[in-house]
Amino acid sequence: MNSVEERLPTGMFFRANRQHLINLQSVRAIEESMQQGYIVTLNTAAKLEISRRNAQALKDVLSI
C-alpha cells in the first residue's frame, strides 16, 4: 500500500487506515466516531473509518 500511496498526487489522496486510500474529492461527509477518529462518507455512499492515528492528519489536510 505504501508504494501505491507514494505514486499518487500529494494532497488529493489520504491514507484512511491500513487498508484504504481515499480520494479527498469524493468525500461527501465527515462525522466523529466513538473511537476518537472519524467516519467518512464517500460519494458512492461507502463509509470508511479513519483511524485514531490518522484523525489529526485528516484535520490538518482538510483544515477542520
Residue 11 CB neighbours (<10 A): 8
How far apart, in whole angstroms, are the C-alpha atoms of residue 14 and residue 9? 10
Question: Residue 38 has what pLDDT?
Answer: 92
How far apart, in whole angstroms, are the C-alpha atoms of residue 4 and residue 23? 13
Grid cell for residue 20: 484504504
Question: Residue 44 has what pLDDT?
Answer: 95
Question: Residue 24 has what pLDDT?
Answer: 93
Domain that holds residue 48: 2-62
What residues in the chain have per-residue pLDDT under 70?
none
Question: Residue 9 has what pLDDT?
Answer: 85
How far apart, in whole angstroms, are the C-alpha atoms of residue 5 and residue 21? 7
Grid cell for residue 62: 482538510
Count structural domains, the chain.
1
